[in-house]
């Protein structure tokens, strides 16, 4: 298999690893899955970097108490994939209680045979 090829199965597996790492605040796995130049946009419009995300898990300011996910769509173009995921979650972000359904849009790209998130955005659904 070409190392730049991305398949739906690869993206589903990466999304599953990411979700498990988020639930457990597993910074080592998150570090592997998030690209160093990650740019994410939070519902408030705040731009979040990889280091900010990892630090929130290290400091336990991002706590997911209960959650489930559903992959809504995956679009693949060359060595890049776009995933749309709905997460139902309950937890705290920076001490603020958070509960509801959230829609994530992530950009996955293959680097040296590994998928990494290079861009993301999420919003709360009504």
- pTM, to two decimals: 0.89
The predicted structure's pLDDT at residue 1: 43
Token match 């309950």: residue? 90
pLDDT at 13: 96
**Could you read off the pLDDT of 30-67 as tens digits, one per residue?**
999 999 999 999 888 999 999 999 999 999 888 888 89
- pLDDT at res. 81: 97
Give the residue from 123, 117, 125, 101 showing the smallest Cα distance to 50: 117
Instruction: Give the chain's domains with CATH numbers.
Output: 8-125 (3.10.450.50)
Q: Could you give the CA distance from residue 7 to residue 65 in angstroms, rounded to a whole number?
A: 31
Structural tokens at position 35:
């690209």
Tell me the pLDDT tens digit for each residue of 66-118.
Answer: 899 999 999 999 899 999 999 999 988 767 788 999 999 999 999 988 999 99
Q: E strand or H helix at 112, and its extent? A: none
CA distance 14 to 33: 8
Taking the C-alpha atoms of residue 108 and residue 119, their distance in angstroms, rounded to an integer, is 7
């Amino acid at each position: 298999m070409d190392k730049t090829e991305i398949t739906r199965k690869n993206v589903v597996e990466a999304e599953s690893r990411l979700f498990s790492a988020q639930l457990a605040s597993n910074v080592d796995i998150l570090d592997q899955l998030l690209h160093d130049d990650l740019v994410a946009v939070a519902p408030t419009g705040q731009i979040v970097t990889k280091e900010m995300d990892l630090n929130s898990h290290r400091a336990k300011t991002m706590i997911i108490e209960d959650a489930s996910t559903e992959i809504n769509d995956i679009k693949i173009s060359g060595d890049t994939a776009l995933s749309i995921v709905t997460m139902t979650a309950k937890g705290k972000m920076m001490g603020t209680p958070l509960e509801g359904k959230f829609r994530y849009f992530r950009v996955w790209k293959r680097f040296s045979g590994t998928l990494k998130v290079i861009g993301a955005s999420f919003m709360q659904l009504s």
